Chains A and B, each alone.
Chain A
Amino acid sequence: MSEQQAYIDSPWLDPDAEPFIKVRGITKKFGAFTAVNNVDLDIYRGELFCLLGGSGCGKSTLLRMLAGFEQPTSGSFSIDGVEMANVPAYERPTNMMFQSYALFPHMTVEKNVGYGLKQSGVPKSEIEDRVNDILKLVELQDFKKRKPHQLSGGQSQRVALARALVKEPKVLLLDEPLGALDKRLREQTQFELMNIQEKVGITFIVVTHDQEEAMTLSTRIAVMDAGQFSQIGTPTEIYEFPESRFVADFIGSTNIFEGRVAEESGDHVTVDTEAGPVLIDHGMSVQNGARVFIALRPEKIQLTKEPPVAAGPNQAKGVVEDIGYLGDVSIYRVRLDNGTLVDVTAPNLVRPKNRTHKITWEEDVYLSWSASSPILLTK
Chain B
Amino acid sequence: MTDTMRDSPVPEVDKALENPPLGARISRKIQSSWKSVVVFLPYSWLLIFFLLPFVIVAKISVAEALIASPPFSSLLEWTDEGILTIRVVIDNFLYIFQDDLYVTTYLNSIKISSISTLLCLLIGYPIAYGIVRSPPTTKNMLLFMIILPFWTSFLLRVYAWMGLLADQGTINNLLIDLGVIETPIRMLYSEFAVYVGIVYTYLPFMILPLYANMEKLDNTLNEAAADLGAKPTSIFFTVTLPLTMPGIVAGGLLVFIPATGEFVIPDLLGGGNVLMIGRLLYNEFHANHDWPVAAAVAIALLVLLVAPMMLYQHYQAKEAEAR
Contact = CB atoms under 8 A, between A and B. Distances in A.
B229 A90 contact: yes
B224 interface: yes
A147 interface: yes
Contact of A102 (B223, B234, B322, B323): B223
B228 A163 contact: yes
A119 B224 CA distance: 12
Interface string A102-123: 1011100000000110011000
A89 B239 contact: no
B320 to A, nearest CB: 11
A102 B224 contact: yes
Interface string B205-246: 000000000000010110111111111001000110011000
Contacts of A92: 227
A115 B225 contact: yes
B238 to A, nearest CB: 7
Contacts of B228: 90, 95, 115-116, 119, 163, 167
B227 to A, nearest CB: 5
A233 to B, nearest CB: 29
A69 interface: yes
Contacts of B225: 104, 115, 119
Interface string B37-75: 000000000000000000000000000000000000000
A100 B218 contact: yes
B244 to A, nearest CB: 11
Interface in A46-92: 67-69, 88-92
Interface string A132-151: 00000000000000010100
A89 B322 contact: no
A96 interface: yes
Contacts of B234: 119
A100 B226 contact: no
Contacts of A163: 228
A345 interface: no
Nearest to B229: A119
A116 B229 CA distance: 6
A98 interface: yes
A119 B223 contact: no
Interface in B174-230: 218, 220-221, 223-230
A89 B227 contact: yes
A218 interface: no
B226 A102 contact: no
Interface residues of A, number: 26
A321 B251 CA distance: 67
Q: Is the interface of B mostly helix, strand, loop or mixed?
A: helix
A373 interface: no
Given A119-B228, A149-B322, A98 B223 contact: yes
B221 A90 contact: no
Contacts of B239: 104
Contacts of A67: 223, 227
A106 B218 contact: no
Contacts of A106: 242-243, 322
A90 B230 contact: yes
B11 to A, nearest CB: 40
A119 to B, nearest CB: 4
A96 B226 CA distance: 10
Nearest to B232: A90
A208 interface: no
B238 A105 contact: no
Nearest to B321: A149
B220 A100 contact: yes
B323 A95 contact: no
Contacts of B243: 105-106
Contacts of A104: 221, 224-225, 239
Contacts of B231: 90
Interface in B157-180: none
Q: Which of A92, A94, A105, A149 has the most CB of B within 10 A?
A: A105
Q: Most chain-B CB neighbours within 10 Å: which of A91, A96, A120, A149? A: A96
Interface string B271-285: 000000000000000
A90 B220 contact: no
Given A105-B243, A149-B322, A120 B229 contact: yes
A119 B238 CA distance: 10
A165 B322 CA distance: 26
Contacts of B238: 115
B6 to A, nearest CB: 41
Given A104-B239, A106-B322, A119-B234, A96 B224 contact: yes
A84 to B, nearest CB: 14
A219 B242 CA distance: 41
Nearest to A67: B227
A243 to B, nearest CB: 34
Interface of A: 67-69, 88-92, 94-96, 98, 100, 102, 104-106, 115-116, 119-120, 147, 149, 163-164, 167
17 contacts: A69-B223, A89-B226, A89-B227, A90-B226, A90-B229, A91-B229, A96-B224, A98-B223, A104-B225, A104-B239, A106-B242, A119-B229, A120-B229, A147-B322, A149-B322, A149-B323, A164-B227
Given A100-B218, A115-B225, A119-B234, 9 more contacts: A67-B223, A67-B227, A69-B227, A90-B231, A102-B224, A105-B243, A106-B242, A119-B228, A119-B229
The 3 tightest CB contacts between A and B, nearest first, are A116-B228, A102-B224, A119-B229
